[in-house]
Amino acid sequence: MSESIGVGAAPVLAPGLYVVATPIGNLGDISPRAVGVLRAASQIAAEDSRHTRKLLSHLGIRASVTVYNDHSVPAVRTALLERVLAGAAIALVSDAGTPLIADPGYRLVREAHALGIAVVPVPGPSALIGALSVSGQPTDQFCFEGFLPAKPAARAARLQRLAREPRTLIFFEAPHRLAASLTAMAEAFGADRSATVSRELTKRHERVWQAPLGELAQAYAVGDDLAKGEIVLVVDGAPSGGQAADDVEALRVLQACMQELPLARAARLAHRLTGVDRKRLYQWGLEQGPCAVESAEWNH
């Protein structure tokens, strides 16, 4: 699919669903292509029409805006897709940043694919990638965990499952829960684990602060004014040495379980006991058999 888009020009859009990234703060971050698509779209599906109309007004764009979010009834989604099938170009936007990243919309995109509708990315700002790029944490491998559970017990359980994850971890967090989440992370991951709090990215009060989790938890516990605005947490993954030791222990548990249970059930039980991914355990059982523990110890 092609578009002829010049700076400030309105392209001729082929029918399809255009997933358009919008600024997370600084309005200067919107791309000329995104402006052109919003100007030319037959209709804009927005998470919050009031928020989107402010952006459109700033850009001097008059457009038909329909609210589409997680509270929308299925009929709204059906109507949007029927318009595309009839030849319309519809732009999907969230309140800020790249749509569908911890935002509503995946059902619309999934059904568009099922109907053979072209789904076109219009890339741009993303709080997730922006925070990772300035964090100082490793960027070669990372995983996005979205928002942690609000209830302390569920939050602690989620973090405990992630304690052995070697990849860099990225979270969104609400200001009023930041101190509690940092404290829980320090307990689950260790107070010395490095992390970065990015707040209000691209906005007037932007702040990026890297420090050990224990230091961050202590600072935000007594400084509520520090935790205003949108927040992204980027945390170092588990040290590789600790991961190796955990793998050896997980193999020991798996082998013990395999003495009494079929492999699939043994892997499930070992996962519950160690937190190591069930599929990894199952694959170990298939590939390494009874010599797994000895092999792991020799290699590490």
pLDDT tens string 68-84: 988 889 999 999 999 99
pLDDT in tens, 121-165: 999 999 999 999 999 999 999 999 999 999 999 999 999 999 989
The reply to whether 7 falls in a domain is no
User: Do residues 248 and 229 share a domain?
Assistant: no
Q: Is there a single domain that holds both residue 107 and residue 166?
A: no
pLDDT at residue 227 is higher than 70: no
Q: Could you say which of 235, 258, 275 is where a domain stops?
A: 235
Residue 27 belongs to what domain range? 16-125
Q: Rounded to an integer, what distance in angstroms lies between the CA atom of residue 28 and that of residue 132?
A: 21
Domain count, the chain: 3
